[in-house]
Amino acid sequence: MTDNYEDIGFGAHKIGFGERPGIAVVDFQTGFTDPQYTLGGRPLVERAVENTARMLEVARAANVPVATCYTAYSSRRDAPYWKIPTVLEEFHHGHPCTELEPRIYDKDYDVVFCKTGPSIFFQTAITQFFIKERVDTVIVVGCNTSGCIRASVIDAFSYGFRVAVPEDCVGDVEEGPHQANLLDVGRRYADVVTLDDVLDYLETVRGRNET
Amino acid sequence: MTDNYEDIGFGAHKIGFGERPGIAVVDFQTGFTDPQYTLGGRPLVERAVENTARMLEVARAANVPVATCYTAYSSRRDAPYWKIPTVLEEFHHGHPCTELEPRIYDKDYDVVFCKTGPSIFFQTAITQFFIKERVDTVIVVGCNTSGCIRASVIDAFSYGFRVAVPEDCVGDVEEGPHQANLLDVGRRYADVVTLDDVLDYLETVRGRNET
Amino acid sequence: MTDNYEDIGFGAHKIGFGERPGIAVVDFQTGFTDPQYTLGGRPLVERAVENTARMLEVARAANVPVATCYTAYSSRRDAPYWKIPTVLEEFHHGHPCTELEPRIYDKDYDVVFCKTGPSIFFQTAITQFFIKERVDTVIVVGCNTSGCIRASVIDAFSYGFRVAVPEDCVGDVEEGPHQANLLDVGRRYADVVTLDDVLDYLETVRGRNET
Amino acid sequence: MTDNYEDIGFGAHKIGFGERPGIAVVDFQTGFTDPQYTLGGRPLVERAVENTARMLEVARAANVPVATCYTAYSSRRDAPYWKIPTVLEEFHHGHPCTELEPRIYDKDYDVVFCKTGPSIFFQTAITQFFIKERVDTVIVVGCNTSGCIRASVIDAFSYGFRVAVPEDCVGDVEEGPHQANLLDVGRRYADVVTLDDVLDYLETVRGRNET
């Protein structure tokens, strides 16, 4: 990649974390996290699951809002024109591939949404939940970087939130599109950070909330 | 790029054109089309302007709905956290860089929207316009492929439309991200086509409307 | 009511039915249809359930898309600031008051959404479903006329659909607000019709589809 | 009106003001405020203009975000199926009836949106602006109570904001629907207050911001 984007100012500054984070956990459902499924169990996704599990433990202890989602339809009839046959054939209400990954989901804490497009913000109640919680900073985690993460980052940005993407908490089928999409969003919409950066930030938030 | 995506079914089939197209023209405003501006006048964008101008002539003759947009804000206060300083500093209502490119915009025909996020669908009235016109197929053109085009394609798909992106009617700062984003969306959400494909389709639509 | 609205043109014409209807069934969940619940079992709602059941039988036979919804939250934390305590306390995922009314819901046919605001269109996938089905006319049924029906009618209208509300397929706690809201929407956004009008229309659609 | 709603808990408590207000000014455009236009210059609207002008002076001094909007279309083609002929015929970009009322609009302070549905929140950037400003309380003012105010209140509530409607800062063609709609929303979604209540609140906010 050359720096023609940088030359005209893309990615010129960091956005920075705000005062109140919210975590958007995208598509950590077994269809993506369990190798028994066609789209499931890729190494970058497995790494993201493990790192996200650590993040969420800290986030919940700090009383930070956690929104989690899965993709599912009533039938092919209400699904958009996906070019991925597995999504059309298997991501239906009640199919086991739509169950949330147990290492990630805490049903007594997390707020859960069913989504139907790539973005966790597209026609779900996450925006309302984050507004009510007065969130100003959205941490986007999950899979896949070049699909639903990219879409979710765009929407979080569009809604006026500060957005951060910890690169080791998002995963994909392959490294190439994973990196290319992080580069695209880091130039425009979001800070690309690491799990450790987010953990430090969440500790600060926890400290402030306990005072 | 390897074919691990293809191996698990990504991009397995074409979506195909439907019965009623609508054209979504994204950000062909002078800030991107005129070389006097920081972000303006890139060769891939210039090519896209010329090709789109040809397409729109045919589309209007076929009475196909054309929605066009520009990005502008009242001030920095209502702009999202862009990491591109020029957008924050210059894309304000009344600034000449927000004027629609004259080779593209026909004020007696096109429906125009001001948008504030990357996607032409994000909080604009394009969806309502296309529903009322009974559009089932959205042709996305404009700039930049790795920014507002990518975002607009995701939303058009999410809203349940068939989506086609003519690769020679969308432009970007550089070829690399242009191609990488076409690949990403072609695997999931849209058919990547050419101006000629769209012209053939529009002629079919025109023929049908005239019968 | 005087006619000052009529004098300046409100409600001056009918919208009329289009070519492709979709049915939006709002909040026919036991919390509203079963008298054992605080908000449940009002006579106008019971009438609406019976009439809607008849309508849906015909709609399904004509292959008309049916979208149904219920209101539910993960907890009080993700609910908006409702001034109705029962909604905050009981409308939670898994509570029996969120189950769809069995006289209404056909799980093998209907597409189901969980909603969180008053409108069935607010941050749900109904718009995408209706776009994909090429719906141009939305028939709104359910409860309550002065709450979620009013909100759903506004949104169906705002999205560019033709809207019809059969007055005997929507219900409320009391006749007064029921009538007042039908008057408000009939002046601006929708045709107020009857079950019989819709049945006639659906028969026409069925005949056309069978040809 | 009877109290069957109250008996089952509707309107059981006040929502209360939060920490950060935002003002949503709905449709104070000359088409509604100037008696020379068909829909313009009703006494309740005139009262609302005068009271809102007082409120906005205080809001701006307190650095409270003010979003203002007008309704306009490119042509009849992109307008929804309004049953009010004047809106279809005259509310077009550039028509003088779409100009913001000069007693209300401050172009150096207010953020302005063009809207196309009844609600100021429907497909406009107000949500993004209020999120970025960290607004938690929306004060809805403007006209008409039984149309665009009702719709805007529903959406502000649905997005998770605390909502207040000062009854003397919203107007309508007639007193009956004005009161009936305030009753409907006060039972469910919003606190119905007065200009004086809002002025007191804004003074508190100003005091806090100056400290």
Instruction: State the alpha helices, DSSP H only, in D9-103.
Output: 30-33, 43-61, 85-90
Q: What is the pLDDT of residue A189?
A: 98
Q: What is the pLDDT of residue C2?
A: 55
How far away is chain A from the Cα of D82, in angstroms, using its nearest Cα?
25
In this structure, what token pair is assigned to residue D145?
């109570």
Residue of D82, D154, D180 with shortest CB distance to C151: D154
Give which of B4, B45, B84 to mutate to test A binding, by max A Cβ within 10 Å.
B84
| Residue in A closest to D163 by C-alpha | A132
How far apart are the C-alpha atoms of A58 and A47, rounded to whole Å?
18
Mean pLDDT of C85-99: 97
How many whole angstroms from its chain centre is CA D137? Answer: 13
Name the band, by pLDDT with cuts 50, 70 and 90, for residue D2.
Answer: low
DSSP letter (8 states) at residue A102: T
| Residue in C closest to D186 by C-alpha | C83
The amino acid present at C164, given as its one-letter code, is A
pLDDT digits over A7-59, tens only? 999 998 999 999 999 999 999 999 999 999 999 999 999 999 999 999 999 99
Query: Would the CB atoms of A132 and D160 count as touching at under 8 Å?
Result: yes
Mean pLDDT of B42-55: 98
pLDDT digits over C23-62, tens only? 999 999 999 999 999 999 999 999 999 999 999 999 999 9
Q: What is the pLDDT of residue D211?
A: 66
Residue of B10, B83, B159 with shortest CB distance to A83: B10
Name the band, by pLDDT with cuts 50, 70 and 90, for residue C84.
Answer: very high
Pairing of strands D162-166, D191-193: parallel
How far away is chain C from the Cα of A124, in angstroms, using its nearest Cα?
5
Task: Give pTM, 2 decimals.
Answer: 0.98
Name the band, by pLDDT with cuts 50, 70 and 90, for residue C1.
Answer: very low
pLDDT digits over C143-169, tens only? 999 999 999 999 999 999 999 999 999
Cβ-proximal residues to B207 (8 Å cutoff; 6+ apart), any chain: none
Query: Would the CB atoms of C77 and A133 count as touching at under 8 Å?
Result: yes
User: Cβ distance B66 to B109 under 8 Å?
Assistant: yes
Query: Would the CB atoms of C132 and A78 count as touching at under 8 Å?
Result: yes
The ipTM assigned to this model is 0.97
Residue D210 burial (10 A CB sphere; 0-12, 13-18, 19+): exposed
User: Cβ distance A30 to A97 under 8 Å?
Assistant: yes
pLDDT digits over D66-85, tens only? 999 999 999 999 999 999 99
Q: Which of these is catalytic: A69, A97, A143, A148?
A: A148
Query: Would the CB atoms of D158 and A134 count as touching at under 8 Å?
Result: no
DSSP letter (8 states) at residue C109: T
Q: Measured between CB atoms, does A172 come within 8 Å of chain B? A: no
Q: Measured between CB atoms, does C211 come within 8 Å of chain D? A: no
Q: Write phi, then psi, for C150 (nearest 5 degrees).
A: -55, -45
Name the band, by pLDDT with cuts 50, 70 and 90, for residue C208.
Answer: confident
Cross-strand pairs, D69: D26, D113
For the domain made up of C18-210, the CATH class stated in words is alpha beta
Q: Which of C86, C84, C59, C87 is nearest to C73 (CA)?
A: C87
Q: Measured between CB atoms, does A180 come within 8 Å of chain B? A: yes
Q: Which of residues 64-103 of A touch B (CB under 8 A)?
A: 80-86
Residue D39: how many CB atoms within 10 A of its CB?
A: 25
Token pair 């039908």 is found at C182
Q: Which of C59, C179, C156 is nearest to C110 (CA)?
A: C59
User: Does the annotation count A143 as an active-site position?
Assistant: no
Residue D87 has pLDDT above 80, yes or no: yes
Q: Measured between CB atoms, does C131 come within 8 Å of chain B? A: yes
Residue D194 has pLDDT above 60, yes or no: yes
Q: Which of D79, D69, D72 is nearest to D93 (CA)?
A: D72
Residue of B132, B134, B160 with shortest CB distance to C132: B160
Query: Would the CB atoms of D134 and A132 count as touching at under 8 Å?
Result: no
Mean pLDDT of C62-81: 97
Q: Measured between CB atoms, does B171 come within 8 Å of chain A? A: no
* Contact residues on chain A for D16, CB-CB shorter than 8 A: none
- The CA-atom distances, in angstroms, between B206 and each of B58, C57, C78, C134 are 9, 38, 49, 20
Query: Would the CB atoms of B136 and C134 count as touching at under 8 Å?
Result: yes
How far away is chain C from the Cα of B12, in angstroms, using its nearest Cα?
20
Q: What is the pLDDT of residue B150?
A: 98
Domain boundaries, chain C: 18-210
Residue of A2, A11, A176 with shortest CB distance to B174: A2
Q: What is the pLDDT of residue A210?
A: 75
Q: Measured between CB atoms, does D155 come within 8 Å of chain C? A: yes
Mean pLDDT of B168-196: 98
How far away is chain A from the Cα of D126, in angstroms, using its nearest Cα?
9
Residue of A65, A93, A123 with shortest CB distance to C125: A123
How far away is chain D from the Cα of A194, in angstroms, using its nearest Cα?
24
Note the CATH architecture for domain B19-203: 3-Layer(aba) Sandwich (3.40)
Chain D partners (3+ C-beta pairs within 8 A): A, B, C
Provide the residue-wise pLDDT of chain A in tens; the chain has 211 residues: 458 999 999 998 999 999 999 999 999 999 999 999 999 999 999 999 999 999 999 999 999 999 999 999 999 999 999 999 999 999 999 999 999 999 999 999 999 999 999 999 999 999 999 999 999 999 999 999 999 999 999 999 999 999 999 999 999 999 999 999 999 999 999 999 999 999 999 999 999 877 6
Name the band, by pLDDT with cuts 50, 70 and 90, for residue D3.
Answer: confident
The amino acid present at C54, given as its one-letter code, is R
How far apart are the C-alpha atoms of D8 and D6, rounded to whole Å?
5
How far apart are the C-alpha atoms of D39 and D45, rounded to whole Å?
10
Name the band, by pLDDT with cuts 50, 70 and 90, for residue C3.
Answer: confident
How far apart are the C-alpha atoms of B42 and D196, rounded to whole Å?
55
In this structure, what token pair is assigned to residue A4?
């023609």
The beta-strand segments (E) located in chain A are 21-26, 66-71, 111-115, 137-143, 162-166, 170-171, 191-193
Residue B108: how many CB atoms within 10 A of its CB?
A: 7
